[in-house]
Structure 1
Amino acid sequence: MPPSSEVERRDNAAGPRIGVLALQGDFREHFGALHSCGATPVPVRRIGELDSVDGLVIPGGESTTMSKLLEVFDLLEPLRKRLRDGMPAFGSCAGMILLAAEVLDTRPDAQHLDGIDMTVRRNAFGRQVDSFETNLDFAGLTGDPVRAVFIRAPWVERAGPGVEVLATVPDGPAAGRIVAVRQGNVLATAFHPEVTGDLRVHELFTAIVRAAA
Structure 2
Amino acid sequence: MAACALATACGSGAYYAEKPDHVRAELRESTFPTFFFGSRAGDSVTSVKGDGTVVWSILGEDDDQLIRLSAKVTPDGDGTRVVVDVLPPAGRNRKRVEKGLAENDSIATLYRTVAAEHVDSTLKDRDFDMGKVTPAMMAATFANMPKISQQMSDAGDEFRRQDAEKARHVPAGEGNPGGNGGKFGDPMDKTEPGPANAF
TM-score (norm 1): 0.24
Q: Which protein has the bigger helix share?
A: 2
Pair member with larger Rg: 2
- Which structure's relative contact order is higher, taking Cα pairs within 8 Å and 6+ residues apart? 2
Q: TM-score scaled by structure 2? A: 0.25
